[in-house]
Amino acid sequence: METIRLTAAQALVKWLSVQLTEEGDRFIEGIWAIFGHGNVAGLGEALYHAKDAFPTWRGQNEQTMAHAAIAYAKTHRRRRAMAVTSSIGPGSTNLVTAAALAHVNRLPVLLIPSDIFAGRGPDPVLQQIEDFDDGTVSANDTLRPVSRYFDRILRPEHLLTALPRALAVMTDPANCGPATLAFPQDVQAEAFDYPVAFFAPRVWRIRRPEPDPVEVAEVVALLKAAERPILVAGGGVNYSGAESELLDFAKKHNVPVLETQAGKGAISWEEPLNFGSPGVTGSGVGNAVAAEADLVIGVGTRFQDFTTGSWTVFSNPARKLVSINLAGYDAMKHGAIGLVADARQAIRAIDAALGGKTYADQDLGRRAAWFAATEALCAAPNHEGLPTDAQVIGAVQRQAGANTVAMCAAGSMPGYLQVLWRAAPGGYHMEYGYSCMGYELAGAMGIKLADPAKEVICFVGDGSYMMANSELATAVMRRVPFTVVLTDNRGYGCINRLQRGCGGAEFNNLYASSNVEAQPEIDFVAHAASMGAHAQKAASIAELEAAIAAARARDIPSVIVIDTTPYPTHEEGGHWWDVAVPEVSQRAEVRQAYEQYQEMIAKQSIN
């Protein structure tokens, strides 16, 4: 057997550089790296010599580097991914939030945190976590529950099994998620005679599991018996590439379609059978359609509580639930009739068996009325005062084109965007499985890196911006242009509204109700400009629109700051969300909210 002598770090980099997609691209496009004593000598040296075959990018924070990698994978519909390496200790634990985000959203990312010495000679090393009762524990064990695959490379030859296992998980459509390879710093530098055949290029094909004929027959029988079925499109529609099949099925059988946050943009908002979104951040017309349905067919959705209005939206007493999903775990939730298969293949099989059956026409007038109402909500203000988030969305929408991607993750904007944004196909990127503050700027960079032809508009609130903004400097250095619309409502406006909605007094969310000695006057324009971005303040909605148009000519990020009100005066859509209200309180408002909470709890249909 022909061998080649390499350090473990060199072998890891060499192997990753030849793992390919069916289209011939690298599956792991490259690696984000912040070096420290745990990885600079071993992995850092290996990456230096491989920089022409396997690129390395420097970021500012381990968490946000991973966010960029995750957004890259999501944009590529899980068909390409990136790796992230950190040093030991805080570098490793900074990855935990991003790993959880990828785990919840079923998105692939390869995490390679350095680890303490496998040989234990210099224990305890700098930043080492010492468990008094378990000598095998390190900081990297915090990544175990948020990784789909976890391994610790204690010997150089462990890579021979660990690397293929990691990529097998990342390319498994049912088990896809983050893979973590904890890499002790001494092992990185140790050499081994690896088989040359191990480094032969390998193509990773993402399989399409076919549906079980018995499960298809059961779903078809339910469809034939139903009078008012609906389809709920989740992220699995996009990852499967099943958009056209979903639309063709809906049009052929006259079935209305609703979209989750992950499924929004699978079909155009202009399609008459697209009735928007269900649930907590659902459109009014979408929730009306959901309430009437006697058969709900989820396609690639986890039926998260926001989608279901905490299981009060699908309120028809005769309602039955079908879940088409690659993961059996998701397909069986809430007593659903599960169809475990690839979304595209499942839709094709159901369509073939259903024949020419069609259902009654929907009332398109209420769809038109919904858009008329939201048009007014998003119109430029004709009065003085701070604009609402809806008016900001309207301004961006009027400037958007067919290649625009609206993206966000947390705060007020995800709800408003799901209700109000009129998404062209592929024009919506929302991280709402984990709703992670700080994903926005790094995620926008990841989207643009994955698809440079897209115009990426990042909606971010002042709270999320303050939490994680440093990758703006990375985007400037790498000349990755995108537009940031930074809405400043002087605090956590979204949670302030939730606090008030649950009967609570305003407390510790807006700066005005926080325990501070002085109200902050944060100059976001100066801050963004200090990192090299083009930054400006928009004093009005008209100025915001002009700034968005001007940003297209730049090769660096553009940050547009606009003050908004934390107290919208009028909203459309929405539904109840199960947020527990205290049973005992001194506040009359809380006691009243608790009574209303009990009324809604009684309406939940949780199996």
For residue 5, the cross-strand partners are: 193
> Are 287 and 398 contained in the same domain?
no
Question: Is position 159 within any domain?
Answer: yes
Question: Is position 370 within any domain?
Answer: no
What does the mean pLDDT of the chain come to? 96
> Are 328 and 423 contained in the same domain?
no
Domain extent for 440 = 376-563
Question: Is position 575 within any domain?
Answer: no
463 Rama class: left (phi>0) / alpha (psi -120 to 50) / beta: alpha
Instruction: Assign residue 67 the CATH number of its domain.
Output: 3.40.50.970
pLDDT tens for residues 359-407?
Answer: 999 888 999 999 999 999 999 988 788 999 999 999 999 999 999 999 9
Residue 18: its pLDDT value, please?
Answer: 98
> Are 251 and 394 contained in the same domain?
no
Domain end, chosen from 183, 203, 223, is at 203
> Are 228 and 112 contained in the same domain?
no
Percent of the chain past pLDDT 70, that is, above it, reads 99
Distance in angstroms (rounded) separating the CA atoms of residues 134 and 462: 42
> Are 270 and 156 contained in the same domain?
no
Residue 571: its pLDDT value, please?
Answer: 75
Comparing CA positions, the residue from 382, 379, 374, 389 lying closest to residue 564 is 389
Burial class (CB in 10 A: 0-12, 13-18, 19+), 372: exposed
Q: What is the mean pLDDT of residues 279-289?
A: 95
Instruction: Assign residue 284 the CATH number of its domain.
Output: 3.40.50.1220
Domain end, chosen from 314, 332, 362, is at 362
Question: Is position 607 within any domain?
Answer: no
> Are 356 and 335 contained in the same domain?
yes
Distance in angstroms (rounded) separating the CA atoms of residues 317 and 394: 37
- Mind giving me the DSSP string for 33-87? E---TTTTTTHHHHHHHTTTTS-EEE-S-HHHHHHHHHHHHHHTTTSSEEEEEE-
H or E element: which one contains 442? Answer: helix 439-450
> Are 452 and 484 contained in the same domain?
yes
Q: What is the mean pLDDT of residues 546-551?
A: 98
Is residue 45 predicted with pLDDT exceeding 90? yes
Name residue 511's amino acid. Answer: Y
Q: What is the mean pLDDT of residues 77-86?
A: 98
Residue 385: its pLDDT value, please?
Answer: 87
Please say whether the dihedral angle defined by the alpha carbons of residues 251, 255, 261 and 262, taken in this order, is positive or negative. Answer: negative
Helix (H, G, I), strand (E, B) or coil at 337: strand
Comparing CA positions, the residue from 349, 402, 398, 438 lying closest to residue 542 is 398
Residue 382: its pLDDT value, please?
Answer: 84
The domain total for the chain is 3
Q: Phi first, then psi: give them for residue 586, nearest 5 degrees.
A: -80, -15
> Are 120 and 237 contained in the same domain?
no
For residue 273, the cross-strand partners are: none
Is residue 139 predicted with pLDDT exceeding 80? yes
> Are 351 and 425 contained in the same domain?
no
pLDDT tens for residues 233-274?
Answer: 999 999 999 999 999 999 999 999 999 999 999 999 999 999
pLDDT tens for residues 576-587?
Answer: 999 999 999 999
Token code pair at residue 267: 């079909």
Token code pair at residue 94: 């900074």
How many Å separate Cα 41 from the centre of its chain? 34
Distance in angstroms (rounded) separating the CA atoms of residues 175 and 219: 24
Residue 607: its pLDDT value, please?
Answer: 64
Is residue 569 predicted with pLDDT exceeding 70? no
Distance in angstroms (rounded) separating the CA atoms of residues 257 and 260: 10
Question: Is position 499 within any domain?
Answer: yes
502 to each of 129, 231, 571, 577, 595, how far by Cα in Å?
A: 40, 32, 17, 11, 11
Distance in angstroms (rounded) separating the CA atoms of residues 474 and 472: 5
> Are 231 and 161 contained in the same domain?
no
Cβ 19 vs Cβ 70: under 8 Å? no
Q: What is the mean pLDDT of residues 418-438?
A: 96
Whether a cis peptide bond, with omega within 30° of 0, leads into 124 is yes
pLDDT band at 570 (very low <50, low <70, confident <90, very high): low
Burial class (CB in 10 A: 0-12, 13-18, 19+), 461: buried
Weakest mean pLDDT among 41-45, 118-122, 197-201: 118-122
Distance in angstroms (rounded) separating the CA atoms of residues 71 and 19: 20
Question: Is position 580 within any domain?
Answer: no
Is residue 309 predicted with pLDDT exceeding 80? yes
Question: Is position 600 within any domain?
Answer: no
Distance in angstroms (rounded) separating the CA atoms of residues 224 and 229: 10
Question: Is position 597 within any domain?
Answer: no
Q: How big, in percent rounded to 5, are the helix, strand and coil portions of the chain?
A: 40, 20, 40
Distance in angstroms (rounded) separating the CA atoms of residues 209 and 454: 31
Please, what is the angle between helix 439-450 and helix 62-75, to 10°?
40
Distance in angstroms (rounded) separating the CA atoms of residues 290 and 606: 16
Domain end, chosen from 148, 183, 203, is at 203
* Sheet containing 295-299: order of strands: 257-259, 229-233, 295-299, 320-325, 337-340
> Are 451 and 354 contained in the same domain?
no
> Are 271 and 324 contained in the same domain?
yes
Please, what is the angle between helix 364-378 and helix 284-292, to 10°?
150
